[in-house]
Amino acid sequence: MWKRFLRNAERGQAIVIVAFAMIGIIAAVGLMTDGGILLIEYGKLKRAIDSAAIASASQFRKNFEGTDLVEAAQDFLSLNQSEASTIIVYRCRRDPNTGDLETSVDGTEHAEDLCTTPRRKLLRVFAERTVSLGFMRVLGINTATINASSVGEAASIDLVLVIDTSASMSYETGGNPDYPDSSLDDPSVCNTSVSNPCEPMRSIKNVARDFVEGDFLFFPYDRVSIVAMTSQVPDGSRNTVTVLPLSYSESDVVNAIEGLNVFQPPECNWGSPASPSSGPCLNYVSGSFVGLECPLYRLGPDLIAGTADDGVKDISSCNSSNIGGALLRAAAEFAVDPIREDSFWAVIALAGGPANATDSYLPSFPYGYCPPSTWNDPVNPFCRDALAYTRHSDGDADYDADDYAHDMADYLADPVDGQGVAVYTIGLGRLIRNAPKGDPDAGEKLLTYIAECAGEPTIYGDAPADPCPPNPDTRVNSNHGFYSFSPDAAGLEAIFLRIASNIFTRLSQ
């Protein structure tokens, strides 16, 4: 009997052991199953939070509200079917101008590690959600909490505005109904008037100022520089000038734009040896402004203007559209410390005609590359050949202002051997499509190349059908912008808005 009792007892122990083993097996299966559920849900949450961080960062711009950032994150979590019980957006809440910690409650939290130098548009999105479990309910564990975070960044912008300030930017002043006095075409008059009414320069400045003051740029995270194609002082030169280096200050940028002047050379002195001996001057007849004149530089001794020649006339110092020099100066802005390699680099260049001048320090002639074959040709244009697509190499006898502008554009846009800048060009006025000498579309062809082709190795002919004929063996995929044309200043606002929209689509990363 005793043995029978022991055998029955052992059977009872086995049942208990099996029961505990079943619980362990269920727990193991539960851990595997519910662990898999948690991993799947975490993956969904993480993907959703990554998208939410990008979406939220895209709202990190001028006049944003903290609630805008949170709502953008919530929307993307919902779109990814990953609702969260808790969403927190962290950002640097120190005033970027004073460094003081902002105390206003706007739905976001401060994170010191997101306060960088130089400033970056960084934010972190944290999300937490509760996941219902299956098998683990056997053990009394009904839910589990998972969380994820992701840092999003909207790229800051480093932008150079290149503005044509040649004398033609005052030639519409007298034709403006608000300024019927034709004497206002004289840049020495309209530059110094209280309202600074030089047209179309006044309209260009208004549009550029509105662009800077709008919602697109977010100072002091973004920076803007202003480059003018001519000097900005009376009796000035045709050399390009950096009016304002890349600046975090919106007010400094606006003031620089408002202070732009049309090129104002010295007054002509016709009664004595011409002063200057070369270069444009303001021509007055009986006290009335009649436009610009250029006492032609001669290879022989300088003579009183209007007397007989004793040498060949060199017009290389007469023209004022130094597009290549302005692009080179713009490119230099991106090489000055602090160099923000994570920002979006862009140039917006506005020109009123084709290139016909280069920098004064360049070799060969008073103002750089101006082949002698173009000096006295009544048909072909000054300082460039008749064919807008013809390219010559630096050092060739026919290397001209148009070639120089193409080369400087390549340097500006090339991401391998240059600066890798996205360039947007604007052609303004009739000379863009109706140049009086040479190819009438020379200005438009050049500006199209600068914005949409520069930086890509190409195969050139005299007149290819494609303005950007690619060389597929060496393509480098430059970060191109686009070219826009406006016959007058009235179309500039729409063009600037289109450029802003295009840049904005590239900012989130």
Greater confidence (394 vs 363) lies with 394
Average pLDDT, rounded, for the chain: 82
Within a domain: 314: no
| Residue closest to 116 by CA, chosen among 342, 432, 407 | 342
Whole-model pTM? Answer: 0.84
Single residue among 104, 125, 154 that ends a domain in this structure = 154
Tell me, yes or no, whether 28 and 73 share the same domain: yes
Burial label, 503 (beta-carbon count in 10 A; 0-12, 13-18, 19+): buried
Residues 136 and 179 grouped into a single domain? no
- The tokens of 145 are what? 């909490």
The domain that holds 374 is classified in CATH as 3.40.50.410
Q: Does residue 193 lie in a domain region?
A: yes
Q: In this structure, are strands 344-351 and 422-428 parallel, antiparallel, or unpaired?
A: parallel
Same domain, 25 and 78: yes
Task: Kindly report, residue by residue over 332-344, the tens digit of the pLDDT.
Answer: 999 998 899 888 9
The stretch 140-157 carries a mean pLDDT of 85
Does 150 share its domain with 219?
no
Listed residues 124, 154, 184: the one ending a domain: 154
Domain end marker among 116, 132, 154: 154
Coil, strand or helix at 432: helix
* Domain around 428: 157-264+323-504
Whether 59 is covered by a domain: the verdict is: yes
> Computed from CA positions of residues 215, 219, 225, 231, in that sequence, does the dihedral angle turn out positive or negative?
positive
Domain shared by 186 and 106, yes or no: no
pLDDT at 463: 45
Q: Report whether 348 contacts 162 (CB < 8 A).
A: yes
Indicate whether 329 pLDDT > 80.
Answer: yes
- Domains held by the chain: number: 2
Tens digit of pLDDT for each residue in 269-291?
765 554 556 788 888 887 888 88
pLDDT tier for residue 259 given thresholds of 50, 70 and 90: very high
Average confidence (pLDDT) over 170-178:
82
Give me the pLDDT at residue 263, please.
Answer: 93
Whether 256 and 150 map to the same domain: the answer is no
Do 59 and 145 lie in one domain? The reply is: yes
Does residue 300 belong to any structural domain of this protein?
no
In this structure, are 149 and 169 located in the same domain? no
163 & 144 share domain: no
